[in-house]
Amino acid sequence: LKKLKEDKHLNLKNQVSERSAYRPELDGLRAIAVIFIIVNHINKDLLPSSYLGVDIFFIISGYVITSSISRQQNSNFLEFITSFYARRIRRIIPLLLIFVIFSSLLICLFDGNPANSLKTGISSLMGISNIYLYISSNDYFAHEANLNPFTHTWSLGVEEQFYIIYPLLAWFSGFTNNDKNRTSKFFYIILFLSSISLVLFITFYNLNK
């Protein structure tokens, strides 16, 4: 009973910390990113490189998640990871599920061959729509993609995969501990992995462009 009370108190403390750390300027950046993305889908020539609005979302997400993790006070790994994933599931899955169900019903009414769209929608619920679209060789800018309402969930898939890896990296690197050098150690780990990612991007881009 004492343990349950302590866990409840810790969860409440973490929630208060999350609310007190709200940064309204990030909503402004999100609004700018949304405008970029809308313009890009209307006419990509109106604002060159406006697709970078997606990258802005990724950067904001990385900042928010890192800030959230740094404020968490968890005594063990299981408590840390379950708390993290519970918050992410509550934030993403309910609305995504409603969107997938509603859009699936509509696409069945207007598309004579909805199989690809439905498979994309199902894969989005598992956080792998980007992988499915890659394997099935669906070009994001192809004409058939216009009839698939779930094509845009590729970015959500990337973000959900980031949520799987990043907290594990943060915990096992010691970032979640009260080590005075935790930030610098975590920074160098992220810098190393980012360098590898950049090299792989340049390599595969040149092979597939």
Confidence of residue 123 (pLDDT cuts 50, 70, 90): very high
Given pLDDT bands bounded at 50, 70 and 90, which one contains residue 128? very high
In a 13 Å sphere around the CA of 105, the CA atoms on its Cβ side amount to 5
Q: Give residue 176's pLDDT band: very low, low, confident or very high (50, 70, 90).
A: confident
Residue of 196 and 11 predicted with greater confidence:
196
- pTM score, two decimals? 0.77
Instruction: Please give the share of the chain, as a percent, with pLDDT higher than 90.
Output: 27
pLDDT at 16 over 60: no
d(C-alpha 152, C-alpha 50), whole Å? 15
Closest CA to 97 of 140, 144, 153: 153
The residue to which tokens 């780990």 are assigned: 189
Spell out the residues 6+ positions from residue 18 whose beta carbon is closer than 8 angstroms to its own.
Answer: 68, 71
Confidence of residue 21 (pLDDT cuts 50, 70, 90): low
What does the pLDDT read at residue 101?
95
pLDDT tens string 63-92: 989 888 888 777 788 888 998 999 899 989
Please give the angle made by the CA atoms of 105, 97 and 157, to the nearest 5 degrees: 110
- pLDDT band at 159, cuts 50/70/90? very high
pLDDT at 100: 95
Give yes or no for residue 6 having a pLDDT over 60.
Answer: no
Give the residue-averaged pLDDT of 176-201.
Answer: 87
pLDDT bucket at 43, cuts 50 / 70 / 90: confident
Nearest-10 crossing angle of helices 53-71, 2-20: 140
d(C-alpha 106, C-alpha 97), whole Å: 14
